Structure 1
Amino acid sequence: MSEPTVADATNRIYESLNADNADIDLHIATLKAALTREGLKEAVFDPAKLVQNNRSGRKLMQAYFRQRGVTVKFSVT
């Protein structure tokens, strides 16, 4: 089986967030590996797909991911 892409890992994180953060740490690790493979420095998320699409929710997500070595940015919709 091939390694997941950043897009695949990002989609799994959206699914995890909607499922009350089920396996979120596993998905963050997968995303981190995919970012490294693709030579990217940060993950970009669509705020419209987030469960907590407010400033505090986005900041909490950024802090949690940063603790696990992933920089999070949000796309402008």
Structure 2
Amino acid sequence: MSDITVSQAIDAIYASIQNDNEDLDQHIAALKEAMAREGLKEATFETARLAQPNRQGRKLMQAYFKKKGVVVGFA
């Protein structure tokens, strides 16, 4: 993977979510690497930009990302 920033990785994840989760696991891995480089413990996503912005959608996203080793928060 190339060296991308956390914000670039999050934007790639938003795009992936809009494209039926295409390459989502690769984008999560890139986000995890970027977070490690930048020393971040949590990735913050905007609820309005999610495909399912309700509580159920947020919890599902948190659970999936947690399995991949990424802690997710929402703004």
TM-score scaled by length of structure 2: 0.97
Uncovered stretches (5+) of structure 1, i.e. residues with no partner: none
The Cα RMSD (Å) is: 0.7
Asked whether 1:67 is paired with 2:67, we answer yes
Structure 2 equivalent of residue 44 of structure 1: 44
Deviation at 1:36, TM superposition (A): 0.2
Structure 1's consecutive aligned runs of 4 or more residues displaced over 2 angstroms after TM superposition are none
Question: 1:10-58, CA deviations, whole angstroms, 9 ceiling, x for partnerless residues?
Answer: 0000000000000000000000000000000010000000010000000
Give unpaired runs (5+ residues) of structure 2: none
Could you tell me the TM-score, scaled by structure 1's length? 0.94
Number of equivalences: 74
